[in-house]
Amino acid sequence: MSSSANTTTIGPMGAPSRRNTELALLVFAVLIPVFAYVNVGLAKEGTVPAGVFGYAAGLGLLAGIAHFMVRKFAPYADPLMLPIATLLNGLGLVLIWRLDLEPSITTPRLGGAMAPGQLMWSTLGIALFLGVLFFLKDHRVLQRYTYISMVVALILLILPMFFPARFGARIWITIPGVGSLQPGEFAKIIIAVFFAGYLMVKRDALALASRRFMGMYLPRGRDLGPIIVIWALSLMILIFETDLGTSLLFFGLFVIMLYVATERTSWVVFGLTLSAVGAVAVASFASHVQSRVHNWLNPLELQDGGVTETAQAMYTFGAGGILGSGLGQGYSRLIGGIAPKSDYILATVGEELGLTGVMAVLVLYALLIERGMRTALAARDPFGKLLAVGLAGAFALQVFVVAGGVTGLIPLTGMTLPFLAQGGSSVIANWALVAILLRISDTARRPAPAPAPSTDAEMTQVVRT
């Protein structure tokens, strides 16, 4: 079979690095947001925005530096991840700037214009992306810090309990001179490192030492410990921080990685059962969760003289139709507060770009997740496989939870859509997540060393990975 017919990400010897493909895709990833920026300016002000050249140069410069670093330090990395992340981040900046032009939701009380701040956080996110590629030469180094990762992740998850609640949830910490940060966004990456390191060591015991009952393999009591602890921690997060999104993400990530490591469906059944029991128990007394579930079940109910945000989001999707009203010509500002820029930014996409735009954005997310899973399949070491699955799974869970909440499929959780929604912690953490996936894919796609010319030479050959 010729090398051109190969469809796996494990490259044969001498396989192309695809860096030129990445560069060509990056050009489109920069041009599309620039055209969107011009489109918004023409729709809102009737002229091409004065800052279009600055925006194009800035986004292009950031994308160019990121591409140069990938070419230099991860030459065999997946060629699609960086362009997709750049496109989503660029579109998010345009959408936030477009909503900044609405005076009713850009008052000083609501934080004013947020696009400049989001641009600063995006720059910091790309700087962290470059730092990860430069300093993390081999992802297997992270395996040494399995239990340290667990401690750091728990500290990050517990920290918000000591800060005042905002919008009904304790998920932010305030650092003087820096602003508010959401530690849970960083914890999802660190906890994936812990799960990958832990499950790589324990997977045989979890997969093989079990009893068969009604067609399912039930884990032993001693092996139930980790999942019970994780379940209890996710409940504590939900109870004390009233953070439904992080709780779902935390527990769902563990169940996904557990299933991939053991290939036992019984673990999935246990996970879903414990999750359902916990959610029902907490919803019986936590008012914040009750409110979100009630709004989900009764979206058209009148509250305080108006309809719920869930109903307003449905109206925006309905108004958008198939092709949308056009960028800058929608009314998603009626959702109120900063929600159109954060939790409900997908509603703005639905109204102004229609079902076509929503599907295009979801396909971009699906492609990024698929490339992460493909990297897991191609990884040559068990730790890399589990870590790639964990990172791609965390990303997928977050997109599903947010998109499902906005479209009314599940209750709204308060998480933000990666790269698209306003939120400094989210954009920084997701750039770091993409950088780690690129590092794993670089190792996975790197060509195998050429065979030694003779048996004697093979015995003394130095293999570099």
Domain ranges for the chain, please list them.
18-445
* pLDDT for 3: 42
Given a cut of 60, is residue 17 above it in pLDDT? yes
pLDDT above 80: residue 166: no
The pLDDT of residue 452 is: 63
* DSSP codes joined into one string, 415-451: ---TTTSS-HHHHHHHHHHHHHHHHHHHHHHSPPPPP
In whole angstroms, what is the distance from residue 403 CA to residue 391 CA? 18
Torsion of CA 31, 32, 37, 42, to 10 degrees: 100
What CA dihedral angle connects 436, 441, 443 and 449, to 10 degrees?
-170
If phi > 0 it is left, if psi is from -120 to 50 it is alpha, else beta; for residue 266 that is alpha
| Amino acid at site 348 | T
- Residue 5's pLDDT band (cuts 50, 70, 90): very low
Would you place residue 75 in the very low, low, confident or very high pLDDT band (cuts 50, 70, 90)?
very high
Give the burial class of 140: count Cβ atoms within 10 A of its Cβ; 0-12 exposed, 13-18 middle, 19 or more buried. Answer: middle
461: left (phi over 0), alpha (psi -120 to 50) or beta: beta
DSSP character at residue 325: S
The per-residue pLDDT of the chain, averaged, comes to 84
CA dist 119 and 113 (Å) reads 11
**Token reading at 421:** 């929604």
Q: Which tokens in the block code for residue 372? A: 């992460």
Where residue 219 falls among pLDDT bands split at 50, 70, 90? low
145-154, 295-304, 323-332, 390-399 — which one is most confidently predicted on average?
390-399
Number of Cβ within 10 Å of residue 302's Cβ equals 10
pLDDT band at 211 (very low <50, low <70, confident <90, very high): low
User: Which amino acid, one-letter code, is at 456?
Assistant: D
- CA-based nearest residue to 247, from 265, 274, 266, 269: 274
Q: Are 63 and 37 in contact (CB under 8 A)?
A: no
Task: Look at residue 1 in the predicted model and tell me its pLDDT.
Answer: 38
pLDDT bin (cut points 50, 70, 90) of residue 292 is confident
pLDDT at res. 168: 64
